Amino acid sequence: MKAKTPSESRTVMTDLVLPSETNPLNNLFGGELLARMDRAASIAARRHSRRITVTASVNHVAFNRSVPLGSVVTVEAALSRAFRTSMEVFIDVWIEDRFSGERTKANEAIYTFVAVDDTGIPTEVPPIRPETKLEQERYEAALRRKQLSLVLAGKMKPHDATELKALFMGDA
Amino acid sequence: MKAKTPSESRTVMTDLVLPSETNPLNNLFGGELLARMDRAASIAARRHSRRITVTASVNHVAFNRSVPLGSVVTVEAALSRAFRTSMEVFIDVWIEDRFSGERTKANEAIYTFVAVDDTGIPTEVPPIRPETKLEQERYEAALRRKQLSLVLAGKMKPHDATELKALFMGDA
Amino acid sequence: MKAKTPSESRTVMTDLVLPSETNPLNNLFGGELLARMDRAASIAARRHSRRITVTASVNHVAFNRSVPLGSVVTVEAALSRAFRTSMEVFIDVWIEDRFSGERTKANEAIYTFVAVDDTGIPTEVPPIRPETKLEQERYEAALRRKQLSLVLAGKMKPHDATELKALFMGDA
Amino acid sequence: MKAKTPSESRTVMTDLVLPSETNPLNNLFGGELLARMDRAASIAARRHSRRITVTASVNHVAFNRSVPLGSVVTVEAALSRAFRTSMEVFIDVWIEDRFSGERTKANEAIYTFVAVDDTGIPTEVPPIRPETKLEQERYEAALRRKQLSLVLAGKMKPHDATELKALFMGDA
Amino acid sequence: MKAKTPSESRTVMTDLVLPSETNPLNNLFGGELLARMDRAASIAARRHSRRITVTASVNHVAFNRSVPLGSVVTVEAALSRAFRTSMEVFIDVWIEDRFSGERTKANEAIYTFVAVDDTGIPTEVPPIRPETKLEQERYEAALRRKQLSLVLAGKMKPHDATELKALFMGDA
Amino acid sequence: MKAKTPSESRTVMTDLVLPSETNPLNNLFGGELLARMDRAASIAARRHSRRITVTASVNHVAFNRSVPLGSVVTVEAALSRAFRTSMEVFIDVWIEDRFSGERTKANEAIYTFVAVDDTGIPTEVPPIRPETKLEQERYEAALRRKQLSLVLAGKMKPHDATELKALFMGDA
């Protein structure tokens, strides 16, 4: 299959934070943001693979900034790396100040999707070719995350997770 | 503050999977499950702390089993460990076969919440005292996850993450 | 069919009261609570019968306590009695005080469900065997309610509703 | 206060049955219908009282006909009787055949509401003056239902529920 | 096909404005009102045609009055004119003052629907016979709107839009 | 106030069509699309004005293509022209073929918003400076639409709607 670029899967989902989505402090529920990110990321994975895509995993997500009621939230998702049948999607979340219009980063997250056919069987996806410096960095980090995921799932020995091991051995 | 047990925060949320929550394969969207788990886990954190709680982070979540339309899904959340102002909540997700009634594990996830006062300032929470063997195991693992989280956030040196380091050094 | 106990069908649904479910006094709409109770009770009926279940009737429901926005509400449903193809489900609703954590009874309700096959035809369900004293009381009262229901529907003569009649004749 | 007629509070709510509201047989969930009836009835009670109204109780509701996905459902609510601070609302539910347009009765239900001021204190409502024969019948039956409700709540002795008692004594 | 009157398709949808439907000024979002009007109008078109109906167009809609949170909103839709396979539906929106009960006009809108068979092919609908003076006026204006629509779509020359042209030539 | 360009207000909202939003032909309800377009357009108007914005009117909208269940729909909104306190927003709707990924135009619409302060009083907005050829065309057409709107509302004599009149006089 012909390689695609991250920008071919880039998906932008801008929407308001409504009262039914907020906690007692009038901020967006973490769970609602997780659901929005999943929808945006699944569209990105579908744009890359042209297949039905199902969420396989969510990487560690930190909620560093609260998102107040009435905010304009922009979720941007794009493929960071494609494996054989799975795709890692990197998601950036931005919010805008109502008065200044200033846009600040609220969150980022990494979801993995598997492409499946109509019976749910995993199916191959095109490779990816990063273009920008940021895309290249995310592409390389994706491999380390894949190794960590395999180690934690007991499917790869820590010893074989070459890239990951370097992280801990470096300052031993 | 007086220590509480995990069972004091245990929260059970049983509900159906409705058509508006399913993907083209008629399975529950990953994002919807993430949102349900967040609601159950935030109630568990609130039961432990008696405070407003906000989602601080979501640990790696793997979606191993799909959850079909019409399933009965049970989300069970209980505190695994309390830190000074934050709480780790362990979530188990079960689905039931419609005919046999057999209950199988569909997912597990780990969310972290921070207790805050009415102005959003973090506030102390009671310590936790695990009772069962499973609770004890999850309590101990919570410390390793906290270290990994701090290392990944650049707030702890890998060298100081004693428990975590052992995992990778063991077979060096 | 082998008898089951009420605890085998017990269904716990704990969730928050969200802003989109509240009236101008910021309390949960009665209708929303009726809908939540229906979902929990239908799962209890399904757990008992392992069949599709449809709501046949709702007994008199009194709303004695309002349920404020942000409350944690727990709906607990369990079979009180099984008839040939129908099942009476008893529902208890609890709310928790945010600060003390004290749990108080907010409501109770009784719904009746019919088990049906995939074409909608009523089908037999297992008998029930109450265990606790409360389950025994609810089991016995279920028969009186069934009689009242038949009398009100004109399907049983008041004279034949032996148990029910005693209630009014007792102090004649 | 000046008496009003039932037609002054009559509320008509016609809407479609959407996929997110249906059970595995593709019929409207009982609980969804209970919630729609509550919204329509609360508007009727508000039109009569010009106050905030809260659901006090739901009388026995029988679901005799299923309501299929895509149906046009009409919920009609109007006051049957006003007491000092409470109002009984009678609700008729109709569905229309898609092809013939024939309209058939699907359900009826009786809800009771209390009028409250902005602090939630019960407040007086205008009396009602039935006009048609059906309105007169429902007006009279409302008194018997009120007595049954008080007896069941232990607030009136069966002996004093004159109208209700006659029902059971008649054939003694 | 036998002609029908506008009153045979009249559809009344009364409902509350809920918090999840309001903007930062606590007024109903324009878009939510557009969606409610579409549902009511599509039911009116279906009542006239006894067919599946799909929205073909929305005429110019002006939002002259805001609709506050908690309002009772009544959407009334009825056919103004039937063409061969399409139907123009006129929609009036009313809101009621909570205290006086006074009903005021909040909006009006005109939607056009096409009747289709189960495969989506346009199919003929019955003619319409206006009865009241208002129905007659709306019936006549519907033709001018149809012409304007055809002119704007480039399917009719302005020169041939006899009725419409008169509007601009009159004061030339 | 300093002029802004249309691209400064451009808002992209990509999302899936879910089952709860579709009609009996499994296509997106017209009303749901109208509501999505309103949300996207109100964000564009807010980005231009940095104010609360309320929907003032919707221009004629034609639904030329149906949008099937499961589609990826992209709503793109950007200011076409700013008047003193009101803004015209042009909205393009695209859908993507699941297999080829081909993107086709499904709809376009024009909404007008008014910027208001926190008390709901209209307030001035920055002028706009179109950049591309398409933006220039839409900017010019916006004036004709404004005139037509004023004529239809009886606030401008057809004789004074210079640009508009030319359209009908041209071939007289």
Span E19-31, pLDDT tens digits: 778 887 889 999 9
Chain A CB contacts of E20 under 8 Å are 18-20
- Lowest mean pLDDT across B51-65, B155-169, D151-165: B155-169
F–E contact: 3+ Cβ pairs < 8 A: yes
Q: For residue B71, give the chain D residue with the closest CA.
A: D24
Q: Are A67 and A22 in contact (CB under 8 A)?
A: no
State yes or no: pLDDT of C112 exceeds 80. Answer: yes
Identify the pLDDT of residue A166: 64
Identify the pLDDT of residue B164: 64
Helices (H), B15-132: 30-49
Q: Does E80 touch chain D (CB under 8 A)?
A: no
Identify the pLDDT of residue F168: 57
- Lowest mean pLDDT across A6-10, A91-95, A135-139, E159-163: E159-163
User: For chains B and F, what is the number of CB pairs under 8 angstroms?
Assistant: 7
- Lowest mean pLDDT across A61-70, B105-114, E102-111, F117-126: A61-70
D20/F20 CB distance under 8 A = yes
Band the pLDDT of A168: cuts 50, 70, 90.
low
Band the pLDDT of B99: cuts 50, 70, 90.
confident
D139 found inside a domain: no
Query: How far F50 CA lies from chain A's nearest CA (Å)?
Result: 5
- From CA A146, how far away is CA A127, in angstroms rounded? 16
Strand partners, C112: C57, C88
pLDDT tens digits for range C27-37: 999 999 999 99
Task: Among A19, A20, A24, select the one facing C70 at the smallest CB separation.
Answer: A24
State yes or no: pLDDT of E35 exceeds 90. Answer: yes
Chain F CB contacts of A96 under 8 Å are 47
Neighbours of B118 (CB within 10 A): 10
Chain A CB contacts of C18 under 8 Å are 20
A138 found inside a domain: no
In chain C the first and final C-alpha atoms are separated, in Å, by 42
Identify the pLDDT of residue F163: 66
Q: Does A100 touch chain C (CB under 8 A)?
A: no
B71 found inside a domain: yes
C143 found inside a domain: no
Chain D CB contacts of F19 under 8 Å are 19-20
C94 found inside a domain: yes
The three-state secondary structure class of F6 is helix
Q: Are F50 and A100 in contact (CB under 8 A)?
A: yes
Interfacial B residues in 10-69 facing A (CB < 8 Å): 23-25, 27, 29-32, 34-39, 42, 52, 54-63, 66
Q: What share of chain D in percent tops pLDDT 70?
A: 93
Helices (H), C85-161: 133-152
- From CA D156, how far away is CA D153, in angstroms rounded? 8
Q: For residue A26, give the chain C residue with the closest CA.
A: C19
- Average predicted confidence (pLDDT) for chain F: 89
Query: How far D74 CA lies from chain C's nearest CA (Å)?
Result: 17
Task: Among A13, A42, A101, select the one facing F47 at the smallest CB separation.
Answer: A101
- Average predicted confidence (pLDDT) for chain B: 89
State yes or no: pLDDT of E167 exceeds 70. Answer: no
Identify the pLDDT of residue E163: 65
Instruction: Among B1, B10, B14, pick the best mutation site for testing chain C contact (most C Cβ within 10 A).
Output: B14
Instruction: Among A16, A17, A18, pick the best mutation site for testing chain E contact (most E Cβ within 10 A).
Output: A18
φ/ψ bin of B3: left (φ > 0), alpha (ψ from -120 to 50), beta (otherwise): beta
- From CA B85, how far away is CA D170, in angstroms rounded? 69
More confident position, D155 or B68: B68
For residue D49, the enclosing domain spans 6-129
- Tell me the average pLDDT across D139-167: 77
B68 found inside a domain: yes
Band the pLDDT of E42: cuts 50, 70, 90.
very high
State yes or no: pLDDT of A101 exceeds 90. Answer: no
State yes or no: pLDDT of F172 exceeds 60. Answer: no
- Tell me the average pLDDT across C5-14: 97
CA dihedral B52, B58, B61, B67 (to 10 degrees): 30
E153 found inside a domain: no
Chain B CB contacts of A158 under 8 Å are 167-168, 170-171
Instruction: Among F17, F20, F27, F28, pick the best mutation site for testing chain D contact (most D Cβ within 10 A).
Output: F20
Query: Residue B153 carries which side chain, given as an amino acid letter?
Result: A
Chain B CB contacts of F26 under 8 Å are none
State yes or no: pLDDT of D85 exceeds 90. Answer: yes
- Tell me the average pLDDT across F18-43: 90
D22/B19 CB distance under 8 A = yes
Q: Does F157 touch chain E (CB under 8 A)?
A: yes
Identify the pLDDT of residue F165: 65
State yes or no: pLDDT of A171 exceeds 50. Answer: no
Query: How far E152 CA lies from chain F's nearest CA (Å)?
Result: 10
C-alpha radius of gyration, chain F, whole number? 17
D19/F20 CB distance under 8 A = yes
CATH number at residue B21: 3.10.129.10
Query: Residue D55 carries which side chain, given as an amino acid letter?
Result: T
User: For chains D and F, what is the number of CB pairs under 8 angstroms?
Assistant: 7
Handedness of CA D159, D161, D166, D168 (dihedral sign): negative
pLDDT tens digits for range C61-109: 989 898 998 899 999 999 999 999 999 999 999 999 877 888 999 999 9
- Average predicted confidence (pLDDT) for chain C: 89
By C-alpha distance, which of B28, F113, E135, B99 is closest to A42?
A: B28
How many domains, chain A?
1
The three-state secondary structure class of A157 is coil
Band the pLDDT of F139: cuts 50, 70, 90.
very high
Chain E CB contacts of C24 under 8 Å are 70
Neighbours of B98 (CB within 10 A): 16
F13/A16 CB distance under 8 A = no
Q: What share of chain A in percent tops pLDDT 70?
A: 93
D72/E14 CB distance under 8 A = no
Q: C-alpha E53: how far from its chain's center?
A: 14
Burial of E10 (0-12, 13-18, 19+ CB in 10 A): middle
State yes or no: pLDDT of A99 exceeds 70. Answer: yes
Q: For residue D22, give the chain F residue with the closest CA.
A: F20
Q: Are E134 and E76 in contact (CB under 8 A)?
A: no
Identify the pLDDT of residue E165: 65
Identify the pLDDT of residue A139: 96
- Tell me the average pLDDT across E110-129: 95
By C-alpha distance, which of B58, A35, F134, B71 is closest to C47?
A: B71
Identify the pLDDT of residue C172: 36
Identify the pLDDT of residue A165: 65
The three-state secondary structure class of F101 is coil
- From CA A165, how far away is CA A149, in angstroms rounded? 13
B48 found inside a domain: yes
- Tell me the average pLDDT across B1-21: 92
- The 3-class SS string of D12-66 reads EEEEECCHHHECCCCEECHHHHHHHHHHHHHHHHHHHHCCEEEEEEECCEECCCC
- Lowest mean pLDDT across A5-9, A54-58, C96-100, F73-77: C96-100
